[in-house]
Structure 1
């Protein structure tokens, strides 16, 4: 596949993320993806055999885009490995994930769609499990406080906090969100 084709595939998948976030799984059509990507009609059908393939490609791409960049990862290892460092990392994580609003909303759509599409469920299960395992492993190797259960509880609590922030943004103020992140860290470390 030519380099241009790889870039176009990525652009189509990114367009599909936007369509999922705006229109939901039912709105994810090849025509909608072509329109969002501003490419000639029929382009997406040349890159994806069917909607199932498009769904699974989107599921993988969202996680690529949600990963912290190399500098953020390096910063996570700088300084003392204490409660304040862990809190800073959790605040960064909530902020980074919330900043990719369309990606997170598309991921929620994919999770719902996965209840009806076994292939998508398999892809998401594998990808999310790998992400959780990587987070636990990184946490253990970093020397930060807290055990595996603490990481899992923070994962679960902060994911739902992001859902609230993105879907019903008037429920909690930014100050309340910041306080809830701090409380979650304090409680799992208690």
Structure 2
């Protein structure tokens, strides 16, 4: 018998393989690949504030890269981040919102739900940035483009919901 004290080996370094973020990106975009994002319903009038259609895939691909990059840093256990569990949960909600946006807007044709999804994404991401900035300013900076875009998109989404009827809820246009 030995008097040696057992010490646990050091934890393995946090590693992310290239295919893991790519697979995650494909999964959250699965419905968007199927639903090509045409006109949400016949007679839909896009908001004049809305950017041209080609801007959305470019912006969202870029924003997905930033969000995944920040999320990988958030998941790294070597980083001391208070509220890590809460932040991971909030990020999961934003990914669920993102993954279902095409469904609520283009498939269901609801400008009200699309506006609610966009505003919710903006609010949750703003909260995430405020929480993580206390411990890791780099993650906060990485996520900043998300609130810039979704803040603008929230204005556009609300305007869009006001100037269009909502076939899902059966409501008329409220403005214009």
Q: TM-score, normalised to structure 1's length?
A: 0.27
Larger helix percent: 1
Comparing both chains, which one has the higher relative contact order based on Cα–Cα distances under 8 Å and sequence gaps of 6 or more? Answer: 2
